[in-house]
Structure formats: structure tokens, C-alpha cells
């Protein structure tokens, strides 16, 4: 089938405007081969900019991540900043270890410099939380991190922070997106070359003292408690950029018996030992588990490649068991609240799809609890708003997807400080003659045990989108009477009533079903993938003499069955 004239014109115009000879040749080869399907996919739209910035496969085309897209995106950001914040502070720029990240960062800094905007940049790879920290302490008007976090190796992304050092939220994202739409061809966007080779005018590298300050502030987050830090730790940065900073906080804290997975210790954007560099994926922690078995470790800590998430594994019955994000978050929240000390009312925050058990833990410690929409941008902004409005003191925030942050250091996920704090928690347990499992069981007995499960229903294409929309529309008209053996007692539809809620609970396609004392279920479409997601949090009571692990397993089986029931009700099973 011949390529349509419209698609050919659009492709030829993009090739002519692409400053990168490699991606020009890549797109031209598809054009010469008459590959209409591939061209339509790559040129049928433009990679959309939103609250998470942009992220996609690194290939040629307007609907992919490449230098031309990064250049146009950065010019739009520059135009937005010049129009809304003239004369403000610098833009901080950092990048991770993916193969294209340094080139994308160089284009980002070069475009900002040509637009007359001062820039402070990291001259080498840097963890995402360190870039967010630098944005805060340097009073940046914005920050950009070139990273795809734990996405597959072929991806990359462009993440933007606002002047408050938290990720952008509406309406800023829409303002930047509109400015990007007005940018002309990439080869017409002015940019300064060679900007990552040293100071040039208003462009300066970030000094090592900023990194040292970050380390000091992270170390200061530790509660002053008696702890046995002779624990033997295994750590992996998953071929990412976390190892040096993790060692810089763990070793001075007293964790000298630290073993780093050698095969994954250095940044490598090819991710040669894992199919998918996400610690939640099957097999991703096999090397860490093998090393832990060889050295007789007490604890495994793992960051994702940009070090903003943390995974934790503990030994149990001759195997290494990975804690859920909720379990890690609840343990850390309780630990930090227990030792919060005097001062303003402590505040803890989690995302609405994370465990409701945090509310009970907060109440036990006399703390303020708040839930937000999904995404750390909302957790950070809610914390800032509540501190300003109510005089609370933000202690901890988390989301179930392995993201955590403590105190005022970083206004985003921080897998480095979380690694230190979890090691401290484990060391405290050892000093008290118990295991982390014992501490978790104590929380379950005090607050009830919450088993959380998630069911993702994949529905690709336009027909799939219609099925997802129909399922959400069904919940407007009626609710299931029961899920499993549990009655549905009510619901909150977050598409409505936003005017009566704070901005971190804005209108969004999310429906929460109330299951009374048994828990709750939530339904929402994914914002980035063709999926409808169902979350069930099933509450159970751990009775005297009962094994918490057995109660949890039974509750999780129940939660899985309830999620399947809800999928059938929605017509998607």
C-alpha cells in the first residue's frame, strides 16, 4: 500500500527539521521502504506533554523520544518560563544513565541557555531525588530530569519540576504543553553547543557541595534510637545511578557490612542482566537474592535505575520475600511517627490507591493523615499546602508503587533516604530482639491487617477504550450489591464534587466502593496505558495465636476474588 500524501509530507517535513543525522536516516529508511504502518505510528501524532512530562520509546518521529522532540519541548518550557516567571531563579537539569540521556540533557541545557535562562546542571549522571533536592536548595524556577525511571531499556523521558521543587501539576502542565505546540521546527530552535563541558555565561555545573549537603540532610532524617547496625546488607542499583549515594549514606550511618551486586553496580543503559529494570518484575532481583544467599545477608535493598523507588526483601522460611510497597510504607511511617519528637502535629500522606491502614497508624500516634490522587506530585503539594494552612509538620509520604519520602529534604520519591531509613528500622528491630516481620505483625494486630491487590484489565485500541469508558459509565448508574461475600455499602465518584475537595483530590475518573469494616475497592482507568485498574484493600483481624502471614494470605485470596467479581460486574472479565 502506498504511503498517503499527507503522511509523506509530514514525514519529509520532520526529516528536514531534525538536527540529528541518525534519526533523520532512520525515518528516511522507513519512508524509502514504504513502511506506512511504522510511519503512521511514529508520525501520526506528537508525544503528549503532561504532569509526568513526556516519556516514550527512543526512535525517530514526532511521537517518539528523540533530540528533535526534546529540543522543541525545551523551547516550549523556556517560552513558558519567560512569559510567566521572568527574572526568576535558574533551571536545574540532571540526567540518568540511559544511553540517550546525556545527549538529551545537553540539548535541554543548550536550548535554555540560548533562550537566556540561567542553568545549573549536573555534569554526570545523577539520581532523580538529588536533582529534586538541588532544585529546592538552589531556589530553581524549574527543574528537568532526563529519565525513564524503571521503564524498559528502549525508553527515555523528560520530567519537569515546578518552582516549589515538586513535580508540575495543572494548570502548569497545560501551559507548558500549549507553549510547546507553538514551537516551530526543531532545527530552527536556537541552542548553545558544548554546554556540558564547563561553565559558559549563565550556565554552570552544580558543585559537589550540593551533593554533600544532600547526604548530610538525609543522615539527619534518622531517629535517635538505639540500633544494632551490624546487619549484613545486600544492595543493587539495578544498573542505575544510585550506588554511590546509597553507599555515602549507609556507610557513615554505621552499616559497614554492605555488599553491592557487582554485576549491576555501575550505570549501564543497556541493562544487560535484567529484561525489565523494575524491581517489581519477576527475576529482576535474582542476582541480589543469589548474593544474599551466598553472604548470609539480613536484608536486601534495591533501587530502580534513577533511584527514586526502593524495594525491600526479607528472609523468611529459607526464601527471600519482597515486601509490598504498602508494607514498606506502613513500617516506615510507624517508625518515623514513633520517634517524631516534640513539635507541630506530624503529617503523613499517601496516595488514594495505597493502604487505608496509614490513617489508623496516624491516629494512633496523634498525627494528621491525608490521602491524595495518585502521583507524588500530589503528595508533595498536599504536604506543602497543609503545612502552610494548618501548621503541621510533614513526616512521611508514600505510594504503593514503591515510592517514599521523609521530611523536608526531597519533594518527590527518594529511594536513597528510604534505603537508609529502612536499614535503620531493621537495625532498631535487631536491637530490640525482634525481626521486621515481628514488627509488621505487631502493626497488624494493633490496626487490623490490610491485604491489598491490584487487577489490571488490558483493553488496547479504540474498541478497548470504548469498553473502559463503558465500564466507568456503568458505575455512574449502579453499583454491585456484593463483592464476594461482602456487601457494597456505598461509593464515592471522584468525577463529581471536586469543588468541595482540596486540589489534591481534583475531579478524576476514579470510583471508590465502600465495603464497610471489610475494606474498599477502587476502579480507575490508567492515565498512560490502555488499562482499567481495580484495587481491593481487604481488612482482616489477626486473632490471638493466629499467624499473621496465614491471615494475610487468606485475605489476599479474598481480595483477588473480590477484584475478579468487580471485573465481571463491569463486563471486562
**Residue 122: DSSP 8-state:** -
Q: ω before 171 within 30° of 0 (cis)?
A: yes
Rounded to an integer, what is the distance from CA 114 to the centroid of its chain?
31
| 239 touches 124 (CB < 8 A) | no
Which residues are 453's β-sheet partners? 536
List, edge to edge, every strand of the sheet that includes 54-57: 54-57, 155-161, 142-146, 91-95, 119-121, 203-205
Is residue 274 within 8 A of residue 379, CB to CB? The reply is no
| Residue among 149, 354, 417, 452 flagged as catalytic | 149
Annotation says 526 is catalytic:
no
SS3 171: coil
Contact, 145 vs 94, CB < 8 A? Answer: yes
Which of 490, 456, 478 lies closest to 353 in space, CA to CA? 456
Rounded-to-integer distance, Cα 178 and Cα 333, Å: 39
Burial of 53 (0-12, 13-18, 19+ CB in 10 A): buried
C-alpha distances in Å from residue 367, one per residue of 100, 192, 249, 414, 505: 44, 50, 28, 22, 20
- Say how far apart CA 473 and CA 485 lie, in whole Å: 25
Grid cell for residue 83 = 512569559
Rounded CA gap, 428 and 420, in Å? 12
Catalytic residue numbers?
149
Amino acid at each position: 500500500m502506498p504511503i498517503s500524501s499527507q503522511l509523506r509530507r509530514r514525514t519529509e517535513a520532520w526529516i528536514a527539521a531534525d538536527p540529528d543525522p541518525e534519526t533523520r536516516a532512520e525515518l528516511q529508511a522507513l519512508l524509502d521502504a514504504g513502511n506506512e504502518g511504522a510511519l503512521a505510528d511514529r508520525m501520526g501524532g506528537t508525544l503528549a506533554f503532561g504532569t509526568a512530562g513526556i516519556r516514550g520509546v527512543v526512535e525517530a518521529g514526532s511521537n517518539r523520544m528523540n533530540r528533535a522532540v526534546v529540543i522543541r519541548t525545551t523551547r516550549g518550557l523556556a517560552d513558558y518560563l519567560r512569559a510567566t516567571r521572568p527574572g526568576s531563579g535558574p533551571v536545574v537539569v540532571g540526567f540518568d544513565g540511559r544511553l540517550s540521556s546525556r545527549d538529551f540533557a545537553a540539548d535541554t541545557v543548550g536550548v535554555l541557555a540560548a533562550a537566556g535562562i540561567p542553568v545549573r546542571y549536573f555534569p554526570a549522571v545523577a539520581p532523580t531525588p538529588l536533582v529534586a533536592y538541588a532544585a529546592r536548595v538552589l531556589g530553581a524556577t524549574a527543574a528537568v530530569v532526563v529519565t525513564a525511571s524503571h521503564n524498559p531499556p528502549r525508553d527515555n523521558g523528560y520530567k519537569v519540576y515546578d518552582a516549589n521543587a515538586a513535580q508540575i501539576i495543572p494548570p502548569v502542565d497545560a501551559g507548558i504543553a500549549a507553549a510547546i505546540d507553538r514551537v516551530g521546527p526543531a532545527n530552527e530552535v536556537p541552542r548553545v553547543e558544548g554546554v556540558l563541558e564547563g561553565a559558559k555565561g549563565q550556565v554552570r555545573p552544580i558543585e559537589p557541595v550540593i551533593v554533600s549537603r544532600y547526604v548530610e540532610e538525609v543522615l539527619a532524617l534518622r531517629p535517635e534510637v538505639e540500633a544494632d547496625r551490624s546487619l549484613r546488607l545486600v544492595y543493587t542499583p539495578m544498573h542505575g545511578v544510585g550506588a554511590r549515594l546509597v553507599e555515602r549514606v549507609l556507610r557513615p550511618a554505621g552499616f559497614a557490612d554492605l555488599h553491592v551486586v557487582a554485576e549491576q553496580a555501575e550505570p549501564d543503559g543497556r541493562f544487560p542482566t535484567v529484561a525489565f529494570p523494575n524491581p517489581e518484575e519477576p527475576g529482576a532481583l535474582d542476582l541480589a537474592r543469589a548474593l544474599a544467599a551466598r553472604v548470609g545477608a539480613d536484608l536486601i535493598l534495591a533501587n530502580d535505575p534513577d533511584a527514586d523507588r526502593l524495594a525491600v526483601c526479607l528472609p523468611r522460611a529459607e526464601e527471600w520475600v519482597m515486601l509490598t510497597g504498602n508494607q514498606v510504607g506502613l513500617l516506615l511511617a510507624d517508625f518515623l511517627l514513633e520517634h517524631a519528637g516534640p513539635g507541630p502535629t506530624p503529617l503523613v500522606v499517601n496516595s488514594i490507591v495505597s493502604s487505608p491502614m496509614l490513617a489508623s497508624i496516624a491516629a494512633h500516634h496523634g498525627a494528621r493523615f491525608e490521602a491524595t490522587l495518585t502521583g507524588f506530585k500530589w503528595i508533595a503539594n498536599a504536604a506543602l499546602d497543609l503545612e502552610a494552612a494548618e501548621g503541621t509538620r510533614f513526616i512521611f509520604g508514600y505510594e504503593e508503587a514503591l515510592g517514599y519520602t521523609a521530611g523536608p529534604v526531597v519533594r518527590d520519591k527518594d529511594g536513597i533516604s528510604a534505603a537508609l531509613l529502612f536499614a535503620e528500622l531493621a537495625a532498631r528491630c535487631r536491637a530490640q530482639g525482634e525481626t521486621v516481620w515481628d514488627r509488621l505483625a505487631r502493626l497488624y494486630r494493633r490496626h487490623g491487617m490490610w491485604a491489598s491487590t491490584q487487577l489490571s484489565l488490558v483493553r488496547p485500541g479504540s474498541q478497548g477504550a470504548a469498553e473502559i469508558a463503558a465500564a466507568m459509565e456503568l458505575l455512574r448508574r449502579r453499583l454491585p450489591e456484593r463483592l464476594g461475600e461482602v456487601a457494597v455499602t456505598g461509593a464515592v465518584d471522584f468525577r463529581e464534587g471536586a469543588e468541595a475537595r482540596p486540589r489534591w483530590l481534583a475531579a478524576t475518573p476514579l470510583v471508590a466502593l465502600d465495603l464497610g469494616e471489610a475494606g474498599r475497592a477502587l476502579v480507575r482507568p490508567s492515565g498512560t496505558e490502555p488499562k482499567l485498574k481495580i484495587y481491593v484493600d481487604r481488612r482482616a483481624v489477626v486473632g490471638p495465636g493466629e499467624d499473621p502471614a496465614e491471615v494475610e494470605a487468606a485475605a489476599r485470596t479474598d481480595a483477588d476474588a473480590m477484584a475478579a467479581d468487580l471485573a465481571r460486574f463491569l463486563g471486562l472479565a
